[in-house]
Structure formats: structure tokens, C-alpha cells
Amino acid sequence: MKSIIQDMKQNYFINAVIMVILGLVLVIWPHILGVMLCYLLGGALILMGIIQLISFLRGERLGLYNKFSMLMGIVLVLLGIWICTQPRIVLSIIPVVVGIIVLLHGLMDIQYTLDIKRAGSTKWWIALIAAILTLVVGLLLVFNPFTAYEISMILLGAAMLYDGGSDLVLLAFSYLAQRDTDRRIREFKGNE
């Protein structure tokens, strides 16, 4: 039974150390995760395109579908190459899309704020502040997408650092508590 608990503690320790290391990597180099994901996505698209092209060259399909297979293969390979060679652009597209959605939401919030004011609420200005903040966040995402992405990665890294660090602290306290319990058991057995 003790070996199962020791294995659990060892796995818990390894997971905590991995979380701390990944957290440090994201805090120090926030762009690295996104770039790695771009390389993986680009590589997968290139592989899918090559499979499509091989299928075309083998002539496994006939007619229009065969030509579509060739076209799809070329598009996938080119898209994969572009993603691998331009990860910064790819990473900046995601926050821009989210930023546009947030901007639209902020504009809707302004309309709701005006409706609240027309309804006679004296606290309409609180909704206006929230709507303006939403617009500011949307503008930040649209006009400075890579910074927004890096901030997100740094926050994710900080969260991982905290999670792994707190796990290591808990393991240390668990070790100290176990050591204290073992000492008391030895003392109790010595007094018998």
C-alpha cells in the first residue's frame, strides 16, 4: 500500500515540476506556444495536402473528384507552408477576430445603455462605463493583437506557475506531516 502512495506522490511531484517549467516558459517566452501550435497545424496541413496529391497521382478517383483532390492537395500544402513561415501573422488573426466580436458586443452594450437611460434608470452610467470598457478591450485586440496574445500567454504561464508551485508547497507540507506522524508512531511504540 505504501508503494502506491509513494507512486502517487512521485507522479504529483513530476506533474507539478512540469507545470512550473511550462509556466516559466510561457512567462519568459510567451510567443513560443503559439508558434509551436502553428508549426504543428502547418505540418498537419502539409501532410494532408501531400496525401491528397498522392491520391491524385495514383488516380484512385475518377473525373471531377480527382481534379478536386489535386486542387485541395495544393491548397492544403500552400496553406500549411504559409502557416509555418508566418506564425506571427496567423497568431495575430485570432485576437483580431475576437476583437471584432468584442467591439460589436460593446456597440450593442452602448445601445442597451441608452435604452436603460430612456427607461429612467439613474444608474445608467454604470452600464455606460462597462460598455466603454468593452469597446476599449475590443479596440486593443484589433489594433494590437500580438500584444494581447502575449499578455494572454503570460497570464496562462503565471497560472501554471502558481498551480505547479502550490502543488510543490502542498507536497512539502505533506512530507513534513508524514514525517511528524512517523515520529509520533515511533515514540508511541517506544513507550510501550
Cα–Cα–Cα angle for 176, 180, 184, rounded to 5 degrees? 170
For residue 8, report the phi and psi dihedrals to the nearest 5 degrees: -65, -45
Higher-pLDDT residue of 18 and 190 is 18
Q: What is the pLDDT of residue 81?
A: 96
> 111-164 pLDDT, tens per residue?
888 888 888 888 888 989 999 999 998 898 888 877 777 887 888 888 889 888
Give residue 50's Cα distance to chain centre. Answer: 29
pLDDT at 2 > cutoff 60: no
Amino acid at 52: Q
Q: What is the pLDDT of residue 62?
A: 58
pLDDT at 68 > cutoff 80: no
What confidence tier does 83 reach under pLDDT thresholds 50, 70, 90? very high
Instruction: Compute the average pLDDT of residues 65-77.
Output: 82
Q: What is the pLDDT of residue 74?
A: 93
**Closest by alpha carbon to 149, among 84, 79, 96?**
96
DSSP strand E in the chain: where? none
> 29-51 pLDDT, tens per residue?
887 888 888 899 999 999 999 98
